[in-house]
Amino acid sequence: MRTLILRILAYPRTCLVLLLALLALSGLALTQLRFDNTPDSFFMRDDPALIKYTQYKADFGSDEYSFLVLDAPAQWTPAFIASVRDLGARIEAMDNVNKVTTIASVRHIASVGDGGLDVGPFLGEALDASALAAKRSEALAHPYYRNLLISGDGRHLGILAETGVRPGEIVYKIELAKKIRALAQAPEFKHLDLRVVGAPIIDADVFTIINRESAIFGTLSFILVSVGFWLIFRSWAVALLPLVVASLSIVVAMAVSALIGAPIGMLTAIIPSFLISVGVGSSIFLLAEVYRQYAARGDLRTAIVEGFSHSAGASALSVLTTAGALLSFSWSEIRPVQGIGISMAAGLVASLLIGWLLIPLALSRFRLLPDAQRAARLLDGRVRGMHWLAGFVTRRWRMLLLVLAGLIAIAGFGVARVTTDYYYVGLFKPHTDIYRSYTYVDQTLRGAASMELIVDSAGVGGESIKDPAVLKRMRELQDRLEARYGALGLKTYSIADVVMEISQALHEGDKAAYRIPDSRAEVAESLILFESSGTDELTRLVTGDYAKARINLRMKYRPDSQYQPLFRDIQAEAERILRETPQIRSIETTGVVPLWSRLTNYLASNEIRSIGLSFFVVLTVMVLVFRSATLGLTMALCNLVPVGIALAVMGFGGVFLDPFTLLVSAIAIGILDDDTLHFVKTVVDHYRRKHDMAAALRDTFASTGLAMLLLSSVLVLGFVIYMLSEVQSLAKFGGVTALAIGAGALCEFLFTPAVLMGLERVGLLRHLLPRESDSASSTHTIQETP
């Protein structure tokens, strides 16, 4: 490391050229960044669930829509219906809106002439109050309209706006959301109290939240770290240096995101604050050591060389282990988790390299540190405080070990209570417009969540979906699910409903005729009549060859755990139907709700894998650095204690694992090992020279301990600010991670020294001493009073 720092100081221009080249290449890559928050973006392209979902969209068209809910009077009036028509027409005129369905424009099937069908809008023109009252009653009784376009109590209406899909683009969704919301606030529609949900709306809102919170949290982190650095170094120039390093590393991290094809999503908001808080770690240890050397020696160049030589190796190892912990997510089946793990790992490595180039050059060229005498005075009071803490730990180490054992036992019970779940709407805090709007839709029109059952008869026979037996099985399945899951607000719809509605229309509205015809010829004839009317509805319900049909299930947004009984029932019913109906080859689930459920299934395995891989990386590095399997294994296990405490709090507090909180363990392990590596390596170095663990701890607390205290404080504050986020899961992630880091600092200052004292007392650290000192060390240990 001494050779490296001497070369950096000798060739400043070359170093600056390398730095500028890295930033230029990163800037070019940033142009490839794109936003994607669709369900598809959470899964790998070869994921079976995503392949099934993609095939569903290819067969039946996109399921992307905006859904509006508005207040309706108890008595419909011509003026009210005119407002609904006007609102629907103005939304349909917007760019990227394919079709708008309102209670006025929804298709209505009626018989005409001798066995003919008329499929036109439900509400004709110039209806008076009495006619509208009759139509309102008809709508409330209509199986298709009820709880989709009109609430069960008639107090609310729904408007369905089907939108086009432009993959990888977000601007059109933002514009659409703005226009719909502006329309809702227009004087002529404000009395309708419109609420808007749907994929385009939530994607636009998430994009806005990400941009706003990335800026807010990045700025807050910047300020907190600046103030913290100033309190230590009493120089704003020095305080800003690590932040410049962190800011440049953010550019590199985002460039890596673009290069690996990871889109911007909700998790992206973590990157800036993470790198400003965590990416400054190596810079803190470098500056702290240079500062200490400068206060002791008085010569700046010597301080830079000695400080770099002392801290650079440990910093490199700690950054690489943190990066290794983050790279454990590269095996994740959850695409944003994989992307953010790789991007933040690259950003951390970049922060190390940029810091190595920038900080020594800046310190040597501009003399940013205060004079040596002032630096020594500033350090004196802090050192006395650290000496007192070291004395307390070395006197009370046995008691601290008992406290540690108690904490581990309690944490074990809490960790066992941790569960996995995923609740998309629950990602957002209750006061947000997203949460309130979706909750309102759940309460009024039984929800906007959807899933699909794909009934496949391919290979069984041509146009098998037209078989009455198949249609009856579909409707039977729908009836059973609706009866059992009323609490979820479950509403189903399929081609079977259309066939039954046509049958009723052909029999002059006779309710007894609302059924599946008994012959295939009747079914085929009714569908031909429906298709010839000009409607394209069947293209969204059945494939052109009538080999596949979809059953749409709409329900309330709930945590995945509440959907599991529904999934089990569907599987059991599907198995029964397949046994009894040879015309059907398979019944499969797809859609948004099953995709989120799939995500939940990945969470537990991802958590176990990330902790295991992170632990393995940290263990390997510690064994190599300490040159002791015993010490390396013990310290690696100690690093798991703060993570266990954080997970235990989640377990006791009912905070479940989701894509955000999943990141906590690996990130915490990666961060905590930085302090452990620096702290224990310094202890071991002093121990080898002094042969006295208490003295080694005292010296380490006074040097490395100061940097650890600053870094831990900055990290805790850096993650606590996430608790201000509108995204509930991001707030939980910030709080739990801050807890883990805070617990880690407590362990590092209290329990790690106690463990080291215990290991020395039982003779497990004697192999670390020089060979010629073994005898003297043994005598010293025996004679020492406890």
Angle at 75 between CA 74 and CA 80, to 5 degrees: 105
Residues 707-736 have a mean pLDDT of 85
pLDDT band at 786 (very low <50, low <70, confident <90, very high): very low
Strands 107-112 and 116-121, by their bridges, are antiparallel
Residue 461 in this model has a pLDDT that exceeds 70? no
Q: 458 with 548: CB under 8 angstroms?
A: yes
If residue 461 lies in a helix (H) or strand (E), which one and from where to where? Answer: none
**pLDDT bracket for residue 625 (50, 70, 90):** confident
pLDDT of residue 423: 85
Identify the three-state secondary structure at position 197: strand
The tally of CA atoms less than 13 A away on the side-chain side of residue 600 is 20
Token digits of residue 557: 């947004």
Q: Which pLDDT belongs to residue 124?
A: 86
**What pLDDT does 462 receive?**
67
Cα 476 to its chain centre, rounded Å, is 38
Two structure tokens written together for 505: 């229309």
pLDDT-based confidence at residue 207 (cuts at 50, 70, 90):
confident
Residue pLDDT, tens place only, 547-587: 999 999 999 989 888 899 999 999 898 888 888 888 888 89
Residue 782: what pLDDT?
A: 36
Q: What is the pLDDT of residue 785?
A: 36
Domains and CATH numbers, the chain: 2-38+234-416+597-769 (1.20.1640.10), 65-164+170-204 (no CATH), 433-590 (no CATH)
Pick from 536, 662, 550: which is nearest to 606 by CA?
662
Q: How confident is the model at residue 783 (pLDDT cuts 50, 70, 90)?
A: very low
Residue among 731, 736, 624 nearest 677 (CA): 624
- Residue 772: pLDDT above 70? no
Which pLDDT band, with edges at 50, 70 and 90, does 11 fall under?
Answer: confident
- Which contiguous run of DSSP H or E holds residue 412? helix 397-415
Average pLDDT over residues 754-776: 76
Task: Tell me what pLDDT residue 234 has.
Answer: 72
Strands 548-555 and 449-456 come out as antiparallel
Over residues 667-692, the pLDDT tens digits come to: 788 778 778 888 888 898 888 888 88
Look up residue 523 and give its DSSP letter: H
Cα gap 104→426, rounded to integer Å: 33
| DSSP character string of 284-302 | HHHHHHHHHHHHHH--HHH
Length of the chain: 786
* Across 388-412, average pLDDT: 93
Helices (H) and strands (E) in the chain, counts: 27, 10
Q: How far is CA 708 from the centre of its chain?
A: 29
Q: Which residues pair with 160 in a beta bridge?
A: 67, 101
Mean pLDDT, the chain, as a whole number? 86
Burial class (CB in 10 A: 0-12, 13-18, 19+), 520: middle
Q: Tokens 């704003």, residue?
A: 236
Q: What is the DSSP letter of 278?
A: T
CA distance 681 to 357: 24
**Nearest C-alpha neighbor of 317 from the set 742, 750, 643, 635:** 635
Going across the sheet that includes 65-71, the strands are: 97-101, 156-163, 65-71, 195-198
Phi, psi angle pair for 785, to nearest 5°: -80, 140
Place of tokens 């709306």: 201
